Structure 1
Amino acid sequence: MYEGAGPRGSAPSCDGRPPDAAGGVTKSAQGPLPGRTPAPTVGCPLPRFSVIVPAYQVQAYLHECLESVLSQSYPDLELIAVDDCSPDACGEVIDEFAARDPRVRAVHLPHNSGLGGARNAGTERATGDYLVFLDGDDTLTPDALLALADRLKETGEPDVLVYDYARTYWSGRSVRNRAAAELTERGPAPFRLTDRPGLLNVLMVAWNKAYRREFVRRAGFAFPPGYYEDTPWTYPVLMTAESIATLDRVCVHYRQRRTGGILHTTSDRHFDVFDQYDRVFAFLDERPALECWRPVLFRRMVDHLVTVYGRRDRLPRGSRAAFLRRARAHYRRHRTPGASVSARTRVHHTLTRFGLHRTYQALRLAAALRRGAARLARRLLRVLGRTALRLHYRFQRLLPLRDDRTVFTVHGHHGHGGDPGALESALRALAPHMRTAWVVRPEHRGTVPPGVRALVPGSAAHWTALARSAYLVTDADAVPGLVKREGQVLVQTRRGTPLGHEGLDLLERPAAAGGTDFARFLRGVDQWDHVVSADRHSTLTWERVCPGRYTTLEYGRPRTDRFHTATAADVARLRESLGIPEGSVALLYAPAHRDYRRTQRPTLDLERVVRRLGPGFVVLSLAPRPCAGPLEAASDRVLDVSGHPDPVALCLASDALVTDYSSLMFDYAGLDRPVVLYVDDWEAYEAARGAYFDPRALPPGAVAGDEDELIDIFATGHWCGARSTRLRTEFRARFCPHDDGRAAERVVRRVWLGETALPPVVPPDERRPVPSAAAASGPSSLTTVPPQQPAGLLTVTDHG
């Protein structure tokens, strides 16, 4: 084993210890053993975190793992990378990182010690205040260590800090921990495990916690050998910790590998789970004060043994009966009186208690047959249901059209809103004799206003409405299943002003087109009677890329009418509902979809932006969420609004828009509030999607090419200065000529009422959209620079 800042055989490390000529760690810890604390040399500051990364046959993932640590915005760390005698290139990768960054300490073990032994080797060399374990194929999320440092300071340096994780799959999908609710930061902190025993429902692994090194050293904790080494570490640590805190934030991306993961390897090593629980109960035997945890640990042990036994990819063929016999012995050995179990798990406990291998297999077979029969029955019912609905729809098309009925829908059957929502509201106001219906999924039913009939997609009522309503309004390319009847009128509103290529132009852009069926798309275009357009640019684009026999109604954007009808009280109410602090400047961050990326992640470090701008700014983030659950970097000044059903309301609540290529910039310009473009990847976006013009050449406001430029624009007040106002005025003149608050009225009068003399367009200089909350408070609230460093010093790294 060799250690230090350089490759193998390099100079002694900062703690003053020379390379171990004897070959490094040669003894694996067999249980809780006293740790070894190195004695750092004088003048060598101790890091805040010691991040310990064991590596064994993870060469494909190790670079990303180590980079995720070294690129953290909180740099006060040491990275101890342990090559567990890996037969691949892990050792070389570690040496490369150690050669380029003095914070990396390379440790090479002379023989394979297993995950536990490798972690112990890293722990023995750690000098940081807190230990953070990270497996070699996982990664830290951006700003994770900064969030840890802040939370540790807030909670008074607890012994253990438990944080959240998300499973990330090879497909790019991310799923947050299902037990995330246990990590709530509400209530007293720090606490002991007896105050919040539900914390044991969080995955019992070492890498979702930060441990105070002195606490670990004093208690003598160490990892045992074998599989499931986390079990006799995490339970004793949590049970003995005098102070525990939680951080409700995803700090680790837990990679779910298709192949190669230890727990997905078929081996007799899975029998190690019995020894690990023996160690846990031996720990309890030596500490009578912890006896109250025995029933809980017994239940967790049985659940764990059943999980290992039930997974098909763990135990070798023919070894399941032997495993269940061992489980029966452990059940009887560690059974605790009064350890009640729920009815749901009672069967598993009974089978484990008596070792009923054949009975268990018979029950599994019966359950599989039952599930198969249920799936077949559901499939038959779906087929019969679809057949019945097709016949129903065919019969309804034979009945007369109803001239007083209109059906509205938006792409994806989301809630009431967008241009269709604005047209529906205007129709009820101008033509009260018309009856309207909205096609909406059940989860969005609450957005449908009173007086509008809600239709579940695919229901008999939905097909009846499609067959007999004289008017149909949608922003989707096509209405699925629609057979358009003679006399039906379909109004197409589209979903935004085109900047990136749309329609037939995507034939040249396979990355953006994806699996688009262009023949089906054109069949949908042939059903359009009217297309609502916002401006001349949109009209010329839609008529070329969506060729059809429809009539273009260049009347403006109906959804932006609310910008002119809302009041200052409405804006205040919206801001309060979103949790925007009074007196702060709210920035709406709305990035466009990146066709060239498999996973959609924010291109901005939002926490850094608000931290540098000061407490006077908050960000409303419409960025796509990287995993199921709240935005990873969400805080009290970065508000995740990605699930908000009404983008117009978010525009009204904000004071400025930060975007790149999103069509929301065209809507927002009509609101006459500042817009800042953040275009750090224009070449990649244009190459993948294509664009009708370069927004940098005709911007609606200030333009930033990197994050520091963006921060500087807001810190110096350029975002709302005279030049930005002039650019926005020119942009509005070109792209918002009809957005005066009466666009929906013009469409309704033209299509439903048949009028040709429509309300005239209000000139731009006479329009009065509702002002932002900051603008209403006076110009000084917009231009005030936070009391921080001068703009020229904004690149100085903030270590928190």
Structure 2
Amino acid sequence: MPERSETRGPERIDTAGPVLSVVVHGRNVQGHLAAGLDALAAQSSPGVEVIVAAVGASAQAAAADRPGVTVVPLPEGTGDGAARTAGAERATGRWLHFVHSKDTVPTGAPRTLADRVADLADLAGDATGAGGTTRATGADGTKGASDADVLVVDHVRSTWRHRGMPSPDGKYLAKQARRALPLADCPDLLRVTPLLGNRVLRADFWRAHAGQLAGEDETYTAYAALLLAGRIAALDQVALNVRELRAESLPSGPPEARFGVIARYESLLALAAHLGLPAPPRAALYDVMVGDCLRVAAREKLPEPVRREFFHRASKAAVAWRPEGHQRPGGLEGVRRRILEEDAYTKYRTFQTANQQRRKLRSAVVSRKHKVGLKVRDLRYRRELERPVDPNLAVFTAYWDRGVACNPAAIAAKLAELAPHIHPVWVVAAANVPLLPPGTDHIVPGTRRYWEVMARAKYLVNNVNFPNAVVKRPDAIHVQTHHGTPLKRMGLDQLDYPAAAKGLNFHSLLARVDKWTYSVSANSHSTQMWERAYPSRYESLDHGYPRNDVFYRATAADIRAIRERLGIAPGKRAILYAPTHRDYEAAWTPRLDLATLADRLGDDTVLLVRGHYFYGGTASPLAGLRRSGRIIDVSSYDPVEDLSLAADALITDYSSIMFDYANLDRPIVIYADDWETYATTRGVYFDLPAEAPGQVARTQEELTDLLTSEAWRDEESTKARKVFRERFCEYDDGRAAERVVRRVFLGESEESLPPVTPVGERIPAPTPEEATQR
């Protein structure tokens, strides 16, 4: 067993090298790594270096090409302990601050830490005698009051809902002031939240005890660092922002894994005994163990046999490791500990009855409401839920029950081809039933058959969420297809944008997200944003958007037929104008003077103008412009994919249609007249004007100049579109619907699915100009 650091020679301060190495480690959990690195990069300091021990391609991509950052690439599956070790091996700083990839370092913290540890080292060097073995004695008689192996700092916590919540550790840190003490003189530091990120370690200390500190269990390492340290300093300033991920978004292990809590503390207590630590730190660690075990037994959701066995094992540990002469606390906590030591599980459960009964009643009510829905009390629905799931029944719906559309429609069409034994039923609002294709089996929300089908269906496919009242049965499969690649902030990322959230109940949103079995994605950007905005345990299907298959399947004849239906004469240039919804506008008003634009573009250009579907119930402001023959209001035309196929070019602002249209490899012009307002009020994931798929216009005059010259399709536009396509059309190759059907409905493995064709090898549908020549 290793010994604690007690006596060392003088530490030479090399002013040329970094004082502090911030070691960011792990994989790109839910897409948070890039933001953390941006925060670090914005506060670079000469005495601080940043090492990123990046696990997997996503983390390596997030860390790549960042100035002042050293990237240590590690293969997928590398554990956190191994990643920390790899990062520490590359670090050159005299102190190490380990930061998990999901967490962030607050502004100013790296400089504060570097100054504090440099101060510790300088004072330690000044206090060392000529022989290198004598430490100075402080005014309080404490030997070596300045040197330390570990600096314990404060932190804040952030969840999906709350940011920057203070920790309970401040009182312990402030108590120590600026002294560096042996653990025996500051045992309460063992009560500080056990995070490795709130302990800054001397690099030599880390290397000397790597065998004890390099394991996968961060909690063990956090405690072991304090036990092994010769002296410990404290700093009651925040140096870490811990992002606490939703438990529902993390992998769930077997309940028996909680036995490891007891084993961890027994190992730590054994280490403390081996090191010969005196009574105060051993008593503090014992108190922490007992309190943690009681918390697990009382609060965590464990099967009753597992809970009973946990209690039994915790009782044995409490008796075996209780320090001699240790006094239990008073009050209810003392009663709980006495019962634990007696191994009286039944008595303990009785003691907890009052609180537990209230929790059970609340839990039962929530569970019941979850099963039958907050508004559904229909006995037939509950009875149907008790019947077996129909393995050959699939429910489809899109855009809040508008009809057959989008990704669900493309999946349903491919399902009819590959798995005709599965019967599709569409959920359609009563007002939209007359618009359904002939022969479409459908159900109207709220009807008796609606609840019967929703209860029995094996597959439920939607491009938005199903109502809260719809129960996710254990053997049912919910497929969330989404309906666009996100530029604007979505889900939990809307928390800081009240204009976008508009009173959205995020708790209810997450309850709906927790019903997803699969989430369909068109590109890596979407996958990462969905995982962050909608954290849960669903499986991401990186198969492409099924609705975009048509952009590689449509023929010249198809395109000629679509243009004929729309009334576009052969030889005319058709430009699709499709702006997005703005959360700060109640109704849609074109941001362009369309009549003037049409006049400037001339008789040979037709404008296809599509208002966002959010404004479908408002009067169209385009009615007076239709008579010109050069403007066609296609706001109510479906499917929108037809409009894209018919258009020679696209004008949009921030609509996700740009990501789909890019598959056609046709010109795209961004009209961003209010980008700053939109980005500020709605929130965005990247700077569109800087990373646009083509030319960007900020005024109508600029837009007109682009469209009346060749700039809208020049070489610069082509290059920008190529980069954009490679990034956002990553999985769209014409076989997305097939991959989804084979994976979800036929149960085929990922390895057996048709591989995604590289972007450069794909052949999109012919352009309208090419279509007229075939």
* TM-score, normalised relative to structure 2: 0.49
* TM-score, normalised relative to structure 1: 0.48
